[in-house]
Chain A
Amino acid sequence: MKKLLTFSLLCAALITKAQDTKTIKLEDLGAPTSPAFVLTDLSPTLVQNPTTPKSFVLGVAQSFGQSKSGFPDNFAAGFTPFWWFNKKGYSVYDVLGLKTKDTTGKDLRENIWGGLKFTGVSVALINKDLIPDAVADQQQVFSVGGRTNLIKVHRKSYVTDIGNALTAWTKAANKGFDSNQAMLDAMIIDPAGTAEILKKWNYKDLENAMDQINTLIAEKPTLNLDLSAAYAVYGIDDKHYKSGRTGVWTTLSSYIPMRLKFDKPTLNYFSLNASVRYQEDHFYKDNAGNVGLNRSVDAGGKAGIEIDKFAIGVEWLHRWNKAGTSDQNRTVGQLSYKIADQVFLNGSFGKNFDMPNKLITALGINWGIGSEKVKLP
């Protein structure tokens, strides 16, 4: 089943990218969730992830340098400023959002605001026709956005399990060093040859301990609150730039594990999400075909069940429109299958805001409550 789905997806990708000589990775097919990209419907294959300010500036400079118009043909970057400016002093506890009184992990507690420091920033400079008029000209679009995790709370014994897993890992690493002693000596004698020497390193002692940690990391929180915001400016011509879209949205999620055993992956959940989004679109096409400003507020939720790689759920949203468009509802049933990391095959059926009674494909782009989704051509 998985092979068939993967093959189908790759064929579709190859057809749509037949003119593109770039190698496409399966992960690249996942829909982006960074706000600046969501707001502009950006393809994830364009997105760079600079790990330093220098590489970010270099990427921007190169994209300007390659452009004939003075505006980058396409440039998009998503990054976490924390990694740019706080390189020293962080430990595994900081990354996991845990507090401890000392380095031994005593009195370990969850820092529910631990995700704030990993606030992500996304920037996009693209040429795209985002104005729904009769003219097919592309606009120069500049979009910037941010996304943060305000609150994250796991089950009560989660912290204890993490602490135990870290201790188990340290013991396993100690054992691994003992069984690879000859290589330790070789690395000290010839540090430059470390990469070659490590090809023979035996990781057997660490595999179970590493799996335990990664399984716990993958565990979803019982309570999670995210906040995102983005703003896009359109270049109407060479001299005039106008506000295009502005969006702010938040999602409160709760994942209730349906099976909780530390020695087995916790992959089955009953999930409940509630979301609110405010959006301004200065180039919205209303029912009468007029293009102008629309302010809308969406609110709703989603309930679902996740069993291993399958997920099924129903999503309901109500939209209040300010422009000459009546309020709308969206009721969609969703079924998704995880093909690979970050890549979901998604099928949906129901009524969308502007597509009544039609079969629709649910996208991370429009709402994406929950996991990332991939759009089928």
Chain B
Amino acid sequence: MNTYQTDQSQEGILLTASISATGPVYTRAIILKVDEPAQPGIKVADSQPMDHTGKIKKALIGTGPKLKGFRLGVISQVGVIGSNKQERLENAKHAAGDYLLQTGDNNKVSYNNPVITVTENGDDVYVFIVFTVDLV
């Protein structure tokens, strides 16, 4: 689990990310308080920062000034492609990702060791990539 020192002078933080995968990628960023997940309090400016290529545009995460105590989660789902299930399971091994958090003062933190989980639904194969950062 990464931790990240927030800069209270900023309205939010910027997220850039790149997922390398053998299939289309869909990503959503979510911010919440671990002990109060039903009331996140801070909005994610762009909850769908990534298109299916895995190449992310810079996205503002959090529109409120009080980010301390929240956890930022970025979850990517990859639809692994291949001509048959065996090939899809092999291709699933190639999924990788990293992302970068950045505040206005160019303070950056990178995160290259997400939790990667391969799942199956019948003959379909998916990879979920989960990044989490505690904003302290």
Residues of A within 8 A of B (CB): 27, 49, 51, 83, 87-93, 95-96, 100, 103-105, 166-167, 169-170, 173-174, 176-177, 184-185, 187-189, 191-192, 194-195, 198-199, 201, 203, 206-207, 209-210, 213-214, 217-218, 341-342
A88 contacts B79, CB within 8 Å?
no
B18 contacts A89, CB within 8 Å?
yes
> Which A residues are in CB contact (< 8 Å) with B58?
none
Q: Mark B77-94, 1 if CB is under 8 A from A, else 0.
A: 101011111100011011
> Which among A87, A105, A198, A199 is the interface contact of B53 at CB below 8 angstroms?
A105
> Which B residues are in CB contact (< 8 Å) with A170?
24, 26, 51-52
* Complex Cα gap A338–B109 (Å): 51
* Complex Cα gap A219–B74 (Å): 34
> Which A residues are in CB contact (< 8 Å) with B37?
185, 188-189
B79 contacts A206, CB within 8 Å?
yes
Q: Determine how close the nearest CB of chain A comes to the CB of B62; give it in whole angstroms.
A: 14
Within 8 A of A (CB), among B54-91: 54-55, 57, 71, 73, 75, 77, 79, 81-86, 90-91
Q: Does B22 contact A (CB under 8 A)?
A: yes
How many B residues touch A, CB cutoff 8 Å? Answer: 49
* Complex Cα gap A174–B54 (Å): 14
Q: Which of chain A's residues has its CB closest to B19's CB?
A: A91
Q: Does B48 contact A (CB under 8 A)?
A: yes
> Which A residues are in CB contact (< 8 Å) with B28?
177, 184
Q: Determine how close the nearest CB of chain B comes to the CB of A18; give it in whole angstroms.
A: 26
Q: Which of chain B's residues has its CB closest to A183's CB?
A: B75
| Given A90-B20, A169-B79, A185-B32, A342-B54 contact (CB < 8 Å) | no
A189 contacts B85, CB within 8 Å?
no
Q: Determine how close the nearest CB of chain B comes to the CB of A104; give it in whole angstroms.
A: 6
Q: Determine how close the nearest CB of chain B comes to the CB of A25; give it in whole angstroms.
A: 9
> Which B residues are in CB contact (< 8 Å) with A83?
94
| Given A166-B52, A174-B26, A207-B121, A95-B81 contact (CB < 8 Å) | yes
Residues of B within 8 A of A (CB): 1, 18, 20-26, 28, 30, 32, 34, 37, 48, 51-55, 57, 71, 73, 75, 77, 79, 81-86, 90-91, 93-94, 96, 98, 115, 117, 119, 121-124, 126, 128, 130, 132
Q: Determine how close the nearest CB of chain B comes to the CB of A93; give it in whole angstroms.
A: 6
> Which A residues are in CB contact (< 8 Å) with B130?
187-188, 191, 194
B32 contacts A91, CB within 8 Å?
no
> Which B residues are in CB contact (< 8 Å) with A201?
119
* Complex Cα gap A184–B40 (Å): 13
> Which B residues are in CB contact (< 8 Å) with A184?
28, 30, 73, 75
| Given A184-B75, A207-B124, A177-B26 contact (CB < 8 Å) | yes
Task: Identify which of B37, B90, B130, B132 gathers the most chain A CB atoms within 10 Å of its CB.
Answer: B130
Q: Determine how close the nearest CB of chain A comes to the CB of B93; give it in whole angstroms.
A: 5
Q: Determine how close the nearest CB of chain A comes to the CB of B57; give it in whole angstroms.
A: 8
Q: Determine how close the nearest CB of chain B comes to the CB of A118; give it in whole angstroms.
A: 11
> Which A residues are in CB contact (< 8 Å) with B119?
198-199, 201
> Which A residues are in CB contact (< 8 Å) with B32?
185, 188-189
* Complex Cα gap A47–B8 (Å): 57
Give 26 A-B contacts (CB < 8 Å), ordered by A residue.
A51-B90, A83-B94, A89-B20, A90-B21, A91-B55, A92-B21, A92-B22, A95-B22, A95-B81, A166-B52, A170-B24, A184-B73, A185-B30, A187-B75, A187-B130, A188-B30, A189-B71, A191-B1, A191-B130, A191-B132, A194-B115, A198-B117, A198-B119, A203-B121, A210-B79, A217-B83
B86 contacts A341, CB within 8 Å?
yes
* Complex Cα gap A100–B54 (Å): 13
> Which B residues are in CB contact (< 8 Å) with A27?
86
A214 contacts B81, CB within 8 Å?
yes
B124 contacts A167, CB within 8 Å?
no
> Which among B21, B23, B75, B98 is the interface contact of A188 at CB below 8 angstroms?
B75
> Which among A103, A177, A185, A207 is the interface contact of B51 at CB below 8 angstroms?
A103
> Which A residues are in CB contact (< 8 Å) with B123?
214
> Which among B25, B85, B98 is the interface contact of A341 at CB below 8 angstroms?
B85
> Which A residues are in CB contact (< 8 Å) with B90?
49, 51
> Which among A87, A174, A185 is the interface contact of B94 at CB below 8 angstroms?
A87
> Which B residues are in CB contact (< 8 Å) with A100?
53
* Complex Cα gap A270–B87 (Å): 26
* Complex Cα gap A195–B94 (Å): 18
